[in-house]
Chain A
Amino acid sequence: QQQVKQSPQSLIVQKGGISIINCAYENTAFDYFPWYQQFPGKGPALLIAIRPDVSEKKEGRFTISFNKSAKQFSLHIMDSQPGDSATYFCAAASDSWGKLQFGAGTQVVVTP
């Protein structure tokens, strides 16, 4: 079964808008939560990551919000740009084993 559930499957947002992608997990042993960005024809690349000792992490226009009690985390893309159009994957791992569990991905399209 999928250990990390991601939604929505796809998202269309206007330039300048906010893109929000949500993920939920079950395994409380997870303690590392990265987001990966993938452009067509390329492999995924790390965008931003968070550990459960903080509730929010911001890097430029990208913010992760983390709710440990709800076992949920989300990616917010502020002031979305056409260059942000890509597929975004959330993931989770535990330090003891390290294997990343990926969500199903969200295709984001930012319209001009």
Chain B
Amino acid sequence: GAGVSQSPSNKVTEKGKDVELRCDPISGHTALYWYRQSLGQGLEFLIYFQGNSAPDKSGLPSDRFSAERTGGSVSTLTIQRTQQEDSAVYLCASSSTGGQGTEAFFGQGTRLTVV
């Protein structure tokens, strides 16, 4: 497809389990973001990948959270030992390299529920 694709769209997991969330960015986009959005809240920045540069991990809330971006394309956000407070919608966005192309295109998100 032409847009940012995230999978799964919904995920219910038990407390303490690990989860992996996947993001397929728009082809050719070098920048990729992960955000977290709790119900009715704003966008909480998690991590930013730009090309081959070291990612900006300043938003990751704890060492249970990690993200990879393989081959400059697909990204996986991993949450280990999930907690109930991790329940939220996880949004991925991609954009072309800076300059005029800074528009970020968002996926539909993965709704994570930890029970």
Q: How far is the CA of A73 from the CA of B40 in the complex (A)?
A: 24
For chain B residues 76-108, which have a beta carbon within 8 Å of chain A?
91, 93, 95, 97-99, 102-108
Q: Is B99 a contact of A100 with CB atoms below 8 Å? A: no
Question: Pick the contact of B107 from A43, A49, A89, A96 — CB < 8 Å?
Answer: A43
**Taking CB as reference atom, which chain A residue is nearest B45?**
A102
Interface size on A, residues (CB 8 A): 25
- Any A CB within 8 A of the CB of B21: no
Contact A44 B102 (CB under 8 A): no
A99 contacts B106, CB within 8 Å?
Answer: no
Q: Which residues of B contact A (CB under 8 A)?
A: 4, 31, 33, 35, 40-43, 45, 48, 50, 56, 91, 93, 95, 97-99, 102-109
